[in-house]
Structure 1
């Protein structure tokens, strides 16, 4: 079987699709990847690449076809729109040309924002007469409205029309969160939808195997770690609020590992509020994350108080469970439900700084044995529901089935 992966984001950008592609190759599957020039999350093209021109390279046995795109920039809605549109056009035109002699059997679309990146995949699938499997990580246009990037109702309606086309033309839709079903069925009632949760690389189950960077903020105290994108969707102001409320507890440290559009705002708040308990440690390669997360006494995941985010399960929940540390989930809906069902930590309402601070204090007051038990509960739930190898086998089954159905 030969699989064509279409994703705007791919290695060296740190997305789940990297591990999926690598595992497919390890199973003897030929993998081609149509993607853009890496520029996430800083918004600048990575060193060694140029925004213009097509590039062909390989990584871990996968063949990568890169098309030009406009870098996303920093906190600019117009540049982000150009980034999305440039990939769609480049992938549809240059990508189709690059792949003209590749005899793929099935297309797999990894679709975080923007969902519109499925359009060139549908075009290529039509040309090659092969099935398109869409893996939905983020709901559109709901996420556009929730993050505030698009407010014009006409523009939202146009996006809705395109999203409806994508759902109806896809041969199979995989969803990373169960509540996504209802939103997708609203646009395409007859779509075949299958729940397919995210996982993480096996290295997260063995935190001592990867890179072990020196991070002074993690050397002492009760360490609460937030890892990942620092943006509007994460409502990181709630972390600042909680840090303010916890200032008198001198041994409690809130440590942010990552970068994003709200990082400079957080840095300003630390200075203005004199928050010596909140540390911005920066962004680290994914190979370092298992070890860094394992140094935490508690791991923090946040999402804004929006309906769309209540239906979302951030991939970091699986990472946190695999590492085996207690979780504080400052969110509503499905992600909070999973943490509670696993008995892997404490879930509080989204954007409630007082509740978050209280959850930190509750974990701080627990014995080490009780915190370890929460971590073990999470690891057990991960093995039962999110095991990487089992989910890759399931994906191969879905792709094989659609290939045979199309034939």
Structure 2
């Protein structure tokens, strides 16, 4: 099968689409990726990349076609808008003039922005190929929740764009079951929606043979991933302050993002520098070893209706690591933690409850904590196995390709 993947982000940027592409190639499919020049999360072009290229390269076994785009900079509103819109323009140009050959199907990786679907629709029309659109971030809801857009008219305009994209997809895949009503509301036929959750990346059953930054001794609460507005770092740091009397408890952040600078300054203001530690962005290959050092793994989201529908991708990896989880979020993410029995969950934004859960987990014996970890790993094996989900995706792609072939002959 010849598959075109359209994604604003791709290796060397650290996104799950890299693993999916490698998995499709390993299964014998010919994959081409239409993407931009890498600049996430630092906001500047990666070393060796820039306005002038490279235009083409081979990564993850796939042919990668890159188009220029405005780097996101510090992540301010105007700069982000230019980053998103520039990929729409250059992505359309790439779909029309840079891609060669033909394609059986098009797969779209949609973390923000949803506008990545516009170049994909141009490619779909050019190659007469069906589109499978994987929704990991609901627009316009997430724009309203984060405050990126507040004007009702502007949100309505974005909604019209979302509807235009969804209605032109052969299948809309959702990373959370709670996303289904929204994608149906915005024009997708219920029969064309599929649940495609994040899978477990890598092998978390054994520690990777790698060197980690120096870590403090004690009860480590480890947070890995994006440090952005959605993660509600103010509430997390309030919980850290509320546990300052527990001298062996340390909060460790491995990641980067728009709120990282603010978080470092807040830690100084709260006099928590001896309890809160920032490792910066670490390679994904180091995550199994890092997680193995955790007494608890932390996931958090702000208490917003849109985030109650969201399951952060780290949840699956946390479960697979076999370590207990601390979850400060609402809705679907909390449901998974409670259903799996792999940790303690409290409402989004409830820093007092999070601090209480840290105390409770610390007070448990190792046998109890290990039982939680085993429960999470068993749940991940049953529901988020990489090979099973990839095979399922290939089945859906084959399905829409057959439908397209039938429509062409009728």
TM-score, length basis structure 1: 0.97
Specify the alignment match of 2:143 in structure 1.
144
CA contact (8 A) 1:147 1:233 kept: yes
Name which of 238, 241, 263 aligns with 1:241: 238
CA contact (8 A) 1:22 1:61 kept: yes
Deviation at 1:102, TM superposition (A): 2.1
CA contact (8 A) 2:329 2:349 kept: yes
Instruction: Could you tell me which runs of 5 or more consecutive residues in structure 2 were left unpaired when the two chains were aligned.
Output: 406-410
Specify the alignment match of 2:101 in structure 1.
102
Structure 1 position 310 matched with structure 2 position 338: no
Cα distance in 1, alignment partners of residues 254 and 107 from structure 2: 30
Cα distance in 1, alignment partners of residues 212 and 291 from structure 2: 13
Cα distance in 1, alignment partners of residues 70 and 296 from structure 2: 38
Specify the alignment match of 2:72 in structure 1.
72
Deviation at 1:215, TM superposition (A): 2.3
- The CA deviation string for residues 270-317 of structure 1, in whole angstroms up to 9 with x for no partner, is 111111211111110111111111110100000011000000000000
- The CA deviation string for residues 81-113 of structure 1, in whole angstroms up to 9 with x for no partner, is 0000000111111332111x2211000001111
Specify the alignment match of 1:88 in structure 2.
88
Instruction: Could you tell me which runs of 5 or more consecutive residues in structure 1 were left unpaired when the two chains were aligned.
Output: none
Structure 1 position 175 matched with structure 2 position 174: yes
What is the CA RMSD across the aligned residues, in angstroms? Answer: 1.1
Structure 1 position 260 matched with structure 2 position 290: no
Cα distance in 1, alignment partners of residues 101 and 288 from structure 2: 36
- The CA deviation string for residues 345-392 of structure 1, in whole angstroms up to 9 with x for no partner, is 001010111111111111100111110110000000000000011111
Structure 1 position 159 matched with structure 2 position 163: no
Name which of 390, 393, 407 aligns with 2:391: 393
Deviation at 1:154, TM superposition (A): 2.0
Secondary structure, counterpart of 1:94 in structure 2:
helix
Matches within 5 A, 1:286-325: 286-325=284-323
Deviation at 1:54, TM superposition (A): 6.1
Specify the alignment match of 2:325 in structure 1.
327
Name which of 227, 230, 233 aligns with 2:227: 230
Deviation at 1:52, TM superposition (A): 4.2
Secondary structure, counterpart of 1:169 in structure 2:
coil
CA contact (8 A) 2:212 2:286 kept: no
CA contact (8 A) 2:231 2:302 kept: yes
More displaced stretch, 146-155 vs 246-255: 146-155
Specify the alignment match of 1:30 in structure 2.
30
CA contact (8 A) 1:52 1:69 kept: no
Deviation at 1:7, TM superposition (A): 0.5
- The CA deviation string for residues 331-355 of structure 1, in whole angstroms up to 9 with x for no partner, is 0000000000000000101011111
Structure 1 position 336 matched with structure 2 position 313: no
Cα distance in 1, alignment partners of residues 202 and 225 from structure 2: 18
Cα distance in 1, alignment partners of residues 383 and 200 from structure 2: 12
Deviation at 1:265, TM superposition (A): 1.0
Specify the alignment match of 2:110 in structure 1.
111
Cα distance in 2, alignment partners of residues 361 and 68 from structure 1: 49
CA contact (8 A) 1:110 1:134 kept: yes
Deviation at 1:51, TM superposition (A): 2.8
TM-score, length basis structure 2: 0.96
More displaced stretch, 377-386 vs 52-61: 52-61
CA contact (8 A) 2:219 2:250 kept: yes
More displaced stretch, 19-28 vs 90-99: 90-99
